Amino acid sequence: MITIDKNIVPKVSIIVPIYNVEKYINRCIKSILSQTIKEIEVILVNDGSTDNSGNIAEEFARMDNRIQVIHKVNGGLSTARNAGLEIATGEYLLFVDSDDWLDNDSIETIYNNAIEFNADIVAFDYRRVFEDEKNKIQEKCLNLREELIDFKQITLEDYVLEYLLKNGHGHEVWNKLYKRTMINNNNINFVNNKEVFAEDFLFNLCVLCHVKKIKVIHNSFYNYLQRPESLMNSKKPFIIQRYAKLYDHFITHVKKNNRIDDFGASLGIIYYCLLRWGLLISLKQNEKFSQISNQLKYFVNLGSNKEQIYNIKDKNVGKFGNFYCRLLIRERFSTIIRLEFANYYISTRIKSSKKKVKKCR
């Protein structure tokens, strides 16, 4: 049995939400316990699993006193992570999904960077591992470069436009280390993923209101398993409506913390991107035009959303985006859907043609 003095404050709290992953959970937990850094706290949150996942977690806890196991009624990924946040005591927080795993020296390297640069967030790269393709690996999914982002030298508006919306550092939480006091002192948690889509993205948007420094590491430390039956590959009902609620939560947090001016025009661009992302996913899922139209109306009219359309600048969205926004203001939803469908259809046909050309070669 491994025993660590409980009076020592952990350097990192690792929160692992668990739900019916008995096939994968051993690899995940072993990768955490084998880390070169030993002063860690591992919080395994069993979110009402119906398989043997909870028992496996308890077995590991009996062998290592750095592990705490929480058993709760099933409530989804967000509620499981929040349960872990409530009891975490480490200097920093790391989230790991239970079917993924870490490289052995990753946490020590990430933590040392956080301390050296006094960073509120450390972002690092990851690799995709495709289960249905005999564990084919895609390295450096974000292609990050080593850098220190100091918000005394870059505005929030510029960061959103140059990094966030270009997926520069990833929208996920599991490829980042977070200073725990920043999260706790500002009451940041995960909104239920049944209410919003992309709860990780919302979490990171809210965190941005309070960040002073982000350290970026180019290394791929995280192994992200791509499973055909995973949550990410499932159908996403009412996606536009859930993106609308995401934006509403975000703008409420921004206003509460008096950061409207700091985000500037990027607030309108975030709004525009969320709406178009949701619309594209709805079309890919073959949803009825009438259902999509109702969701667009909900998006535009929820809370103070509509005012953000007027903050969108031509230089950031171009002539097409500007025309798109005018249609939104006039609530010409059927025209927008047809426009987006035509755009999606044409781009799909072009991609298909390129694949055929490659095969011919």
- Taking only the tens of pLDDT, the chain with its 361 residues reads 666 677 789 999 999 999 999 999 999 999 999 999 999 999 999 999 999 999 999 999 999 999 999 999 999 999 999 999 999 999 999 999 999 999 999 999 999 999 999 999 999 999 999 987 677 899 999 999 999 999 999 999 999 999 999 989 999 999 999 999 999 999 999 999 889 999 999 999 999 999 999 999 999 999 999 987 665 557 888 999 999 999 999 999 999 999 999 998 888 889 989 999 999 999 999 999 999 999 999 998 887 666 777 667 555 677 778 888 888 888 889 999 988 888 887 877 666 655 554 554 4
d(CA 107, CA 298): 42
Structure tokens at 110: 């990430």
pLDDT at 94: 98
Question: Quick one: pLDDT at residue 323?
Answer: 83
pTM equals: 0.91
Reported CATH class of domain 12-233: alpha beta
Q: Which of these, 290, 289, 305, 301, lies nearest to 340 by C-alpha position?
A: 289
Listed by start position, the domains of the chain span 12-233, 239-352
> Looking at residue 122, what is its pLDDT?
98
**Whole-number pLDDT of residue 31:** 98
Supply 11's token pair: 């350097």
- Return the SS3 of 50: coil
Phi, psi of 324 (to 5 degrees): -60, -45
Compute φ and ψ for 260, nearest 5 degrees.
Answer: -55, -50
pLDDT, position 62: 96
- Read off the amino acid at residue 172: E
Q: What angle do CA 239, 240, 242 make, to 5 degrees?
A: 65
pLDDT of residue 357: 46
pLDDT for res 87: 98
